A and B are shown apart, each in its own frame.
Chain A
Amino acid sequence: MKHFLSRLPGLVMVLLGISLITFTLSYLAPGDRATAIAHARYPEEIAFPPELLQAIRDEFHLDAPFASQYLNWLGNVLRGDFGLSYSSQTPVWEIFTANLGETVTLAVSSLGLGLLVAFCLASLAVRNPGSWLDRGAVLLSSIGAAMPSYWLGLLLILGVAVHLGWAPSYGTGSLAHLVLPALTLAFWVMASQTRLLRSFMLEAGSQAFVETLRLRGIPEREIFVRHVLRHAMVPALTMIGLDLASLLEGAIIVELTFARSGLGSLLAGSVLSRDLPVVMFLVMFFATAYVVINSLVDAVQAASDPARNR
């Protein structure tokens, strides 16, 4: 806890930095924002009278200097007011929560599946380092790490959906629509985690205290479950925390490849339609989630590491 509190000022500074970068990006984006808002409000109109554009500029303070616009926006964000989407005129928060579920479902199901397979593979591999099973696991994880997920997605669509007809290829909806995207993402999770878990387990298993336990006649199974695993969990937890950003990125690519709805499709759609409030919120959300989760992982790790608690 003390460790976490000492990190807090730095965390606040990083969050402020994130907001500044996000706002600068949207501020520098080309195109007249007043016209974009007008287009979204009156989709059937083609040209807009200058008075209307000026009214919009006044309403959103678009003529104000950078610093005052930034502080204004930051104040709103801190109060929990993320604005209205330009195109649908509904609060950004509602659009976000409507799409969050799909992405979380995809990420959690593939993380669960991938970790499960990775755990089994790594446990089997470290039994006999250098055996064909071990080599196979390493090879599989190398291929998985190099595999472009969008390409794997296309291959799965071609093989499983088109030729075998076992699962639907594109879209969202039923549980069956989740199968191929989750498999695609789980393959990547499996690849990155197998190799990490394997090396952490090997390292933990080669330590002196494990040899002592063995000499004391503790059964191999118990050593593995009670000591090696627990020892390997601390670094593995950190890596899983760091890989969370990659998991979100992977989810976004997979969503777009399979035309699934979710945060990735929402981001791509609103970026292309210049729905800036939605874009800014999503970018802020991803960056903040990454920072907060990593701080939490860091705190958990500090609490569970006996050497640091002394």
Chain B
Amino acid sequence: MTLADIQSQSSQKPSPLLRFSRRVLMGTGFGALALCFGFWATPYGPAEADFLNRLSPPTATHWFGTDHLGRDIGTRLLFGAFWSLGLSFVISLAGLLVGTLIGLVAGATGRLPDMVLMRITDSFFAFPELIAAVTFAGLFGPSTINLVIALSLVSWMKFTRLSRSLAKSIAEQDFVIQARLNGLPAGLILLRHILPNVIPSLLVLWTSSWSRTILAVSGLSFLGFGVQPPTAEWGAMLLDGKPYMQTAPHLMIFPGLAVLISVLVINLTGDRIRDLLAKTK
């Protein structure tokens, strides 16, 4: 079989992984569009109080009901998506970038930097995420920015461990040794040959890290250590609605459902990518 044959074969039928990635991208784009449409279409603001319509159950004008100040819960859920999904997106992305960088450096350079970097990583890894976040956010004052700093500080170690071990095994493969024998500088080998082979597994880990961070952000906000109540973060909305749990359960049901569904969708997407990756290997 010549190279041209292989190329024509692969161009005929996109791999299931590629097809699924396209579908994920389309789905994400559609979700973002729907969110923007929601922002544009809703007649209410996230902080717009209507005291005549307090604690209204779901109706035709307020699809998800109103809260104790008469604010429209549907609108607040939309803005909450921006906070809950957005903040955790940024945090997990920061973890992905920083962690991968440290891991690649540790895995691809000498023994001493590897040892030192990995002991530092292990030390940070020992602190359970939520405990570190509660401590940090509590000591430095509960606020959105302290929540982001706290969760970012403990979000990178998983990526370091994974990228390091992958980089180590890839660095021993023939094509990397070949590149090194050809005199390619170490930085270029890292960027061109090792990084592209590490990315798929890192992305799978990143989806699970993102969904975990969504749970952490909303959980900490619910406990009062994160985003503070007037802001329409989903966990903060739950905290807001908790006193009215018995008389108006819709105040706590919808925000929790929003967290559950987002995390579930992200997890299932990550699982599917992982399965497809395993099949192609």
Contact = CB atoms under 8 A, between A and B. Distances in A.
Interface in B240-277: 242, 245-246, 249, 252-253, 256, 259-260, 263-264, 267-268, 271
B140 A30 contact: yes
Most buried by B among A18, A249, A282: A249
Most buried by B among A142, A146, A147, A248: A146
Given A26-B139, A142-B267, A248 B131 contact: yes
Given A10-B119, A150-B238, A25 B135 contact: yes
A29 B140 contact: yes
Interface stretch (A53-61, A86-94, A103-111, A285-293): A285-293
Contacts of B219: 148-150, 253
Nearest to B116: A13
A155 B131 contact: no
A252 B131 contact: yes
B222 interface: yes
A30 B130 CA distance: 20
B123 A18 contact: yes
How many A residues touch the partner, as a band?
Answer: 35 or more
Interface in A23-65: 25-26, 29-30
A279 interface: yes
Contacts of A256: 223
Interface string A256-288: 110000000001100110100001001100111
Interface in B204-238: 211, 215, 218-219, 222-223, 225, 235, 238
Contacts of A236: none
Nearest to B138: A271
A18 B127 contact: yes
A291 B268 CA distance: 30
B256 A246 contact: no
A159 to B, nearest CB: 10
A56 B223 CA distance: 33
A21 B130 contact: no
Contacts of A25: 135-136, 139
A29 B215 contact: no
A151 interface: yes
B129 A249 contact: yes
A253 B221 CA distance: 11
B92 to A, nearest CB: 16
Contact of B138 (A17, A257, A272): A272
Contacts of A95: none
Contact of A286 (B131, B141, B235, B245): B131
A279 B135 contact: yes
B145 interface: no
B135 to A, nearest CB: 6
A158 interface: yes
A246 B212 CA distance: 11
Nearest to B150: A25
Nearest to B139: A29
Contacts of B136: 25
Interface in A131-175: 142-143, 145-151, 154-155, 157-158, 162
Contacts of B139: 25-26, 29-30, 271, 274, 279
Interface of B: 119-120, 122-124, 126-132, 134-136, 138-141, 211, 215, 218-219, 222-223, 225, 235, 238, 242, 245-246, 249, 252-253, 256, 259-260, 263-264, 267-268, 271
Given A150-B222, A252-B131, 15 more contacts: A17-B124, A18-B126, A30-B140, A149-B219, A151-B259, A151-B260, A154-B242, A155-B253, A155-B256, A252-B130, A256-B223, A272-B138, A274-B139, A283-B131, A286-B127
12 contacts: A18-B127, A21-B124, A30-B140, A150-B223, A162-B245, A245-B129, A248-B128, A248-B131, A267-B131, A268-B225, A290-B126, A290-B127
